[in-house]
Structure 1
Amino acid sequence: MHTAALVTGASSGLGAEFAAQLAARGHDLILVARSGDKLTALADRLAAEHGIRAHVLVQDLAEPDAARHITDRLAALELSVDLLVNNAGFGTCGRFEGIAPDRDHDQLMVNVVALVDLTHALLPDMLERGSGAVVNVASTAAFQPSPYFAVYSASKTFVLNFGLALRQEYRGRGIRVLTLCPGPVDTPFFDAIGTRKAAVNGSFTTPEPVVRAALRALDRDRGYVTPGLGNALSAHLLPRRPRTLVTALAERVTRKVLGPGGAPGATKPKEHAA
């Protein structure tokens, strides 16, 4: 069976950049997202530019059996995965009661459930081969509760803690696990969430340096990485206790996302995360 890197949310943003940089490293690709036309165009371009094979799997990760559908198609194509990039995700913001419950449900299905299910499905084969890697995309929102981003920040805290726990479990067994915690990245994530004010520090970076930092950290077998000096300082130097005080201070920063009525407009979810 051929080995490859599987990237979820690969149609744009960080996912497309992961695909491009991994292809430049010589990885074959399995690109997963809902946008078949975008995936096909990206796969064709990267295959032509780098001489790699690129496969397209169209899948909505909010569906309950998304991981099973993906692994069934991997088996049919006789593909195995030696690098899993759990990049897909989206966010909601605003007052909790003003956010549609099905949006938050789908958010957890994509940000948490699909991520865990795919890791469960693909990690055993890596262990059997004695090598492999998982990259989970979290966020700087993972480091503290974030009022008006309650479900999003909680989902990213899960991703960070899950990744760190797995890394400790599999150290010495040939599996590397990295959690990427970027600050605001200029991607369609902010179109999906409904406002660029969701970048509460007002500072954006681009996908290229974020992915470059992630792959460099993976090469060095780091547990997590927070690209950008300001993001790293915020993640590592700000106090985390007492938690109620930290949350109250966070609310003073995040309340700027509130518009008339308490919630920004939101479109359909995108398969990438910031």
Structure 2
Amino acid sequence: MSPRAVAVRAGLQRGWIEFRQSVTNGQDLWSVLFFPIIALIVMFLLRNNTVPGTGFSLGSQSIPGILGMNVVLNGMLALGLSLTMDREDGTLLRAKATPNGMVGYLTGKVLSRTGTAVVGLLVPLVPAVFLFDGLELGRVSSWLTLAWVLVLGLVALLPIGAVLGSLFNTAQSMGFVSLPTMLLIGLSGVFYPISAFPDWLQWVAQAFPLYWLALGLRSAMLPDALAAAELSESWRHLETVGVLGLWAVAGLLLAPVVLRRMARRESGSAVEGRRQKAMQRTM
């Protein structure tokens, strides 16, 4: 077995351990469950409201948006935050000092965050099947669509999280990413089709993977009649595959380069400097 394959295997083992720890730790589990639980409660209260121009429940229509936002929060942003935290405490420096350590480290992080994102997605999805009417989850094709959209969406978004985590030195500085991300979620029509937006804003939204992830999730879970509210009045599966695939390829090519450059700048003095700054902030 090649050294790189050994590192990947070690990374998979590390990722499984981190995932298992996150779902058995009360604080970590609550951070994953908090948003979907609150969102489900809000959508349940709105279940008797209808989407304008239709008789379809507004609560049911918003369920794919809750799932999409979970992928962003528990996948992309959580991976970036995890990277910055590991830079602060020296974990990344230790990985750098190990042969092929960065390969194993990144493999483990991607696996653990993928598992956490899937758990964060299943938490609202399972009760939603029983609480909300109108969701088209009784067909095999719906689950197949849900599966490939989620896989492509995670592959497209996780490298972005790795790049963001490489650009910021501290976990506090990653907080500056949250507000633009939430704004992008709103502009990308994660919770509602963007067909009512101005034309220029529609083009901006379609340039980002969040729009296509949300569109794909709606196509898997909502009746085909609601496609009339979307751009081109269709679910645009081919375009979804194409755009998410392009983002995935670009991210997979860019993320290792950015991570290697970031790892080269890591040193004991840099870690100690960040640790001293963190201590000063807590005093």
TM-score by length of 1: 0.34
Structure with greater helix share of residues: 2
- Whose radius of gyration is greater, 1 or 2? 2
TM-score by length of 2: 0.33
Structure with greater strand share of residues: 1
